[in-house]
């Protein structure tokens, strides 16, 4: 009697487990189908349009192979990444340093705050022509533009992170006779790190935009310059290769920052960015 | 008598502690103002000595501003830019919000569309400008497309995650009281997701502004961006700063307006966290 009830229950459970096959349990199938249909339609339609205006997937793959084999893509990517690294490095150093100062000292904040707010609310793109006038068209101007794009998110997030450090922690440090540098590096900096990393994540995306804008307008070296060049030559397939590389770069950089954020700021409670 | 002396002593002590030594941190507002004034004065003195081709100074900029306003040129270009901006942003909202709602509510729509949404969102939109110019020419349609693409993804992504966070118990209660899908959409999901949507709108406003400036700088035919390029190529640095200041003010005004709208439309918001 008891056994049959058990069986009944198991049967019922099995019945429930053996649901009808549902498409919703396989979202990647739907995604794959969607992408396949899109690519097929693009290929079909793209081959029939003027290649100057629209290209098609196989042509883009061909162009990619060509650009990779000639080494041009890699070379320009390195040039772009070099300026991104330098500009970002400088703004990381200065942004975190100034941010710590502004968060710790009300004096520094009062002196710097109006200028920083004014600068931050100016769309930095608008300043690029002036910067090109000042720094020319080379490596230097790219670094400056990337610096300007990335500096403010880091600075503002660092300052607000420092201001958010609970006063009791600082007081405990002081009670144990910690010196001001010790308080800064052992208490304030680690506590502000989640905020700083949120600023870094914002800055990475903006830095990429700054890099592209700088290269589009200087149009000499880098991935942005390739875009301008192939745009002027009406080589649409090659433009798409560059756009895809930039997209992948964006995804890769953001993922890397997020991984770094998880490793470096595991104790974070709030990671809310002040944008 | 002794008491009186003690009292007097105490009073004196209190008075002494009230008449604190002069501390700079008590005059932060003054410090802010003087910091700005000092900067402007230093710029004026230093700027007058530098070659006017490279750096202007505040009074020259004020002069140029009056000149441009009187000639009416500035207003004409600003109006052109604003029209394009308004059309593109409206299109982004009109398409972005419904798409986000659909993707948040129906899994089929989500799985069909999310490969494209994520791919396009990760690609820096500035990289698309050369292609868009190729497709749409140098006139208003290309700029509208740039503004649209810059603005749609923040709105779409925020709407999507807003719909996702609507608590299912709210929807269940609605269903239990016999609400149809249309009612659930308009009376439950929309209001609950509204704070997220507004956060997306706020992001979109800023991004679209950057988009239109970049596009106009690149085409260099009409609008604020074109003015920037024209004045910088003519080395008219004083005039160059007029659109820069205008754009900064525009950015501040627009984001303040969206915030005010947000407070009016969605006063029940709990989290306004932007993605």
ipTM of the complex: 0.79
DSSP string, A181-220: HHIIIIIIHHHHHHHHHHHHHHHHHHHHHHHHHHHHHH-S
Determine the distance in angstroms separating the CA of A14 from the nearest CA of chain B, rounded to an integer: 26
For all residues of chain A together, what is the average pLDDT?
Answer: 85
What pLDDT, in 10s, does the model give residues A265-274? 665 544 443 4
Contact present, B217 and B42 (Cβ < 8 Å): no
Please name the residues in contact with A104: beta carbons below 8 A apart, sequence gap of 6 or more.
A162, A184, A188
Query: From its phi and psi, is residue B180 left (phi > 0), alpha (psi between -120 and 50) or beta?
Result: beta
pLDDT confidence bin for A245, thresholds 50/70/90 = very high
Asked if B265 contacts B198 with a C-beta cutoff of 8 angstroms, the reply is: yes
Q: Using alpha carbons only, what angle is made at residue B14 by residues B11 and B18, rounded to the nearest 5 degrees?
A: 135
Residues of A (71-90) whose Cβ lies below 8 Å from B: none
For the stretch B29-85, pLDDT in tens is: 888 888 889 998 998 888 888 887 778 888 888 988 898 888 888 888 899 899 999
Is-contact B240 B232, C-beta < 8 A? Answer: yes
SS3 content of chain B, % helix, strand, coil (to 5): 85, 0, 15
CB contact under 8 A, A247 and B218: no
Could you say which residues from 199 to 258 on chain A have a Cβ atom under 8 Å away from some Cβ of chain B?
Answer: 205, 208-209, 212-213, 216-217, 224, 227-228, 231, 234, 236, 239-240, 242-244, 246-247, 250-251, 254
Q: Using DSSP, state whether A33 is helix, strand or coil.
A: helix
Q: How far is B89 from chain A (nearest CA, A)?
A: 17
Res. B181: pLDDT tops 80: yes
Q: Which of B240, B155, B136 is nearest to B193 (CA)?
A: B155
Could you report the per-residue pLDDT of A68-113, keeping only the tens digit for each?
Answer: 999 889 999 999 999 999 999 999 999 999 999 998 888 888 888 8
The residue of chain B nearest to residue A224, with distances taken between CA atoms, is B127
Any alpha helices (H) in B19-136, and if so which ranges?
A: 28-49, 58-71, 73-105, 107-122, 129-136
Instruction: Work out the pLDDT band at B21, boundaries 50, 70, 90.
Output: low
Residue A191 has pLDDT above 50, yes or no: yes
As a dihedral over the C-alpha atoms of residue B129, residue B131, residue B136, residue B141, rounded to 10 degrees, the angle is -20
> Does the beta carbon of A26 lie under 8 angstroms from any beta carbon of chain B?
no
A114 touches chain B (CB under 8 A): yes
Instruction: Kindly provide the b/e burial profile for residues B115-129, where b requires at least 16 CB atoms within 10 angstroms of the residue's own CB.
Output: bebeeebbbbbbbbb
Q: Where is A51: in which H helix or E strand?
A: none
Q: Which residues of A touch B134 (CB under 8 A)?
A: 52-53, 231, 234, 236, 239
């Amino acid at each position: 009697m008891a056994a049959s009830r058990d069986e009944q229950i198991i049967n019922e459970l099995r019945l429930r487990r053996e649901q009808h096959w549902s498409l919703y349990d396989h979202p990647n199938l739907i995604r794959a189908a969607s992408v396949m249909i899109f690519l097929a339609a693009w290929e079909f339609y793209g081959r029939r349009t003027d290649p100057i205006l629209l290209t098609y997937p196989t042509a883009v793959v061909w162009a990619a192979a060509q650009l990779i084999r000639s080494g041009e893509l890699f070379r320009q990517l390195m040039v772009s990444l070099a300026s991104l690294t330098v500009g970002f490095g400088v703004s990381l150093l200065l942004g975190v340093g100034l941010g710590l100062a502004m968060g710790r000292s009300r004096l520094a904040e009062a002196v710097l705050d109006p200028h920083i707010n004014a600068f931050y609310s100016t769309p930095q793109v608008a300043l690029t022509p002036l910067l090109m006038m000042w720094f020319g068209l080379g490596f230097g101007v790219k670094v400056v533009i990337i610096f300007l794009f990335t500096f403010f998110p880091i600075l503002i997030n660092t300052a607000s992170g420092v201001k958010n450090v609970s006063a009791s922690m600082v007081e405990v440090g002081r009670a144990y006779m910690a010196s001001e540098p010790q308080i800064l590096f052992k208490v304030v900096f680690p506590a502000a790190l989640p905020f700083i990393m949120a600023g870094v994540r914002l800055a990475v995306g903006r830095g990429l935009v700054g890099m592209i804008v700088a290269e589009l307008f200087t149009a000499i070296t880098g991935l942005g310059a390739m875009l301008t060049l192939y745009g002027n030559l009406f080589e649409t397939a090659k433009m798409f290769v560059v756009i895809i590389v930039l997209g992948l770069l964006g995804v890769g950089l953001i993922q890397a920052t997020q991984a770094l954020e998880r490793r470096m700021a595991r104790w974070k409670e709030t990671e809310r960015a002040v944008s | 008598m002794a008491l009186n002396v003690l009292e007097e002593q105490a009073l004196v002590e209190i008075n002494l502690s009230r008449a604190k030594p002069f501390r700079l941190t008590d005059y932060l507002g003054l410090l802010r103002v003087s910091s700005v004034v000092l900067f402007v004065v230093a710029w004026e003195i230093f700027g007058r000595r530098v070659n006017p081709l490279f750096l202007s100074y505040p009074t020259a900029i004020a002069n140029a501003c009056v000149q441009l306003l009187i000639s009416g040129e500035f207003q004409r270009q600003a109006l052109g830019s604003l029209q394009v901006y308004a059309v593109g942003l409206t299109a982004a909202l009109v398409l972005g919000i419904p798409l986000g709602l659909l993707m948040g509510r129906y899994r089929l729509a989500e799985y069909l569309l999310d490969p494209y949404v994520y791919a396009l969102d990760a690609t820096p939109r500035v990289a698309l400008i050369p292609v868009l110019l190729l497709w749409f020419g140098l006139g208003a349609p290309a700029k509208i497309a740039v503004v649209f693409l810059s603005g749609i993804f923040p709105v779409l992504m925020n709407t999507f995650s807003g719909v996702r966070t609507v608590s299912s118990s709210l929807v269940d209660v609605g269903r239990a009281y016999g609400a149809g899908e249309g009612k659930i959409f308009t009376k439950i999901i929309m209001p609950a997701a509204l704070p997220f949507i507004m956060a997306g709108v706020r992001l979109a406003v800023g991004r679209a502004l950057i988009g239109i400036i970049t596009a106009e700088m690149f085409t260099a035919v009409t609008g604020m961006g074109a003015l920037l390029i024209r004045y910088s190529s003519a080395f008219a640095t004083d005039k160059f700063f007029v659109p820069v200041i205008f754009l900064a003010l525009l950015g501040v005004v627009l984001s303040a307006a969206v915030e005010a709208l947000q407070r009016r439309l969605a006063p029940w918001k709990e989290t306004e966290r932007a993605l």
